[in-house]
């Protein structure tokens, strides 16, 4: 069973205090819960997401690389720039599901207020169950041996169509009545713009942005972002190496990339934006853009 980190972001203190009365195993059975109250009453403190991400990162760092730990996010939607900023920090490794806070000021007395708090705690437990189910659906698409558009490296696949694919699923999958249909339709839409290609030096098909062929490594899965190396990287490098859209994937998957025309560039952008040199004949790029 794939382990998961369940992050609950944006809870004001009264909602946080009520949720803490619930057993962690009821909120995140079989997973690890990360929740902290927000310092602001109507939005996100800029440090709120960073604090949660650091906790998830440290948890992930303590797990063997071969054991996937997907990231799931329940977040309060304040409908503002601070919410958009939070979501950007969890893209594209997490699977988010929004929460809408009830208005405690509408309660006419303490029993009504307590009922709002109790009902919201139940809503969180139900949302956790729902986002876990959607995560399993996505894992069926990502945790496979075959090439998958969902796992293409965002920095190095030079097409906005990939970003559109991932953002569509990121924004809608957790609320879709049929997430598998949604994912399948979006993959088909992507492939209509980037159809399977067969490189001249290969028999199997590959994905391409018109600049590079992204080919399967076959059984030659020798490289990945090790925890010891991840300690010198930004936090999201590791989180992106363990999860994509809340789905698990093979930790040692990478693409063998060769140029469609001409020669390889002298360097390619790695997982945190620095230039890394390729090998003589190809460049190995992991889904999180780690250059191997």
Distance CA 179, CA 270 (A): 31
Domain-wise residue ranges, the chain: 3-142, 149-285
What pLDDT sits at residue 218?
Answer: 74
What is the percent of the chain with per-residue pLDDT over 70, rounded to a whole number?
98
- Listing from the earlier edge strand, what are the strands of the sheet with 207-208? 207-208, 212-215, 255-259, 283-285
Contacts 24+ apart (CB under 8 A), 25-28: 26/125, 27/124, 27/125, 27/128, 28/4, 28/128
**Which of the residue ranges 1-5, 31-35, 86-90 would you say has the lowest mean pLDDT?**
1-5
At 1, the pLDDT band (50, 70, 90 cuts) reads: low
**Which pTM value belongs to this model?**
0.95
pLDDT of 197 above 80: yes
pLDDT tens for each residue of 131-170: 999 999 999 999 987 788 999 999 999 999 999 999 999 9
Report the phi/psi class of residue 151: left, alpha or beta, with left for phi > 0 and alpha for psi in -120 to 50. alpha
Query: Which option is the CATH number for 3-142: 1.20.58, 3.40.1000, 3.40.1130, 3.40.50?
Result: 3.40.50
At 68, the pLDDT band (50, 70, 90 cuts) reads: confident
Whether 248 and 70 have beta carbons less than 8 Å apart is answered as yes
**Cα 133–Cα 44–Cα 56 angle in degrees, nearest 5:** 50
What pLDDT sits at residue 203?
Answer: 79
pLDDT of 219 above 90: no
**Which of the residue ranges 48-62, 164-178, 217-231, 248-262 would you say has the lowest mean pLDDT?**
217-231
pLDDT of 221 above 70: no
What is the percent of the chain with per-residue pLDDT over 90, rounded to a whole number?
87
């Amino acid at each position: 069973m794939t382990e998961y980190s369940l992050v609950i972001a944006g809870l004001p203190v009264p909602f946080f205090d009520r949720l803490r009365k619930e057993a962690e195993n009821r909120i995140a059975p079989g997973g690890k819960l990360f929740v902290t109250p927000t310092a602001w009453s109507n939005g996100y403190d800029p440090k709120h997401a960073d604090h949660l991400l650091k906790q998830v990162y440290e948890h992930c760092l303590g797990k063997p690389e071969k054991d996937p730990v997907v990231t799931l996010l329940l977040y309060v939607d304040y409908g503002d720039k601070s919410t958009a900023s939070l979501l950007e920090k969890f893209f594209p490794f997490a699977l988010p599901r929004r929460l809408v806070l009830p208005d405690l000021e509408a309660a006419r007395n303490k029993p009504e207020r307590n009922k709002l708090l109790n009902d919201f705690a139940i809503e969180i437990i139900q949302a956790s169950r729902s986002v876990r189910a959607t995560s399993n659906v996505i894992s069926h698409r990502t945790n496979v041996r075959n090439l998958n558009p969902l796992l293409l490296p965002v920095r190095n696949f030079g097409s906005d169509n990939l970003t559109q694919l991932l953002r569509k699923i990121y924004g809608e999958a957790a609320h879709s009545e049929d997430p598998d249909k949604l994912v399948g339709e979006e993959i088909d839409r992507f492939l209509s713009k980037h159809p399977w290609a067969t490189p001249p030096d290969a028999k199997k098909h590959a994905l391409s942005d018109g600049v590079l062929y992204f080919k399967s490594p076959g059984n030659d899965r020798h490289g990945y972002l090790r925890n010891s190396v991840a300690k010198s990287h930004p936090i999201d490098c590791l989180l992106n190496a363990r999860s994509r859209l809340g789905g698990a994937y093979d930790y040692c998957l990478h693409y063998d990339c060769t140029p469609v025309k001409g020669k390889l560039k002298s360097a390619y952008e790695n997982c945190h934006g620095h230039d890394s040199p390729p090998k003589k004949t190809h460049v190995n790029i992991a889904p999180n853009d780690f250059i191997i």
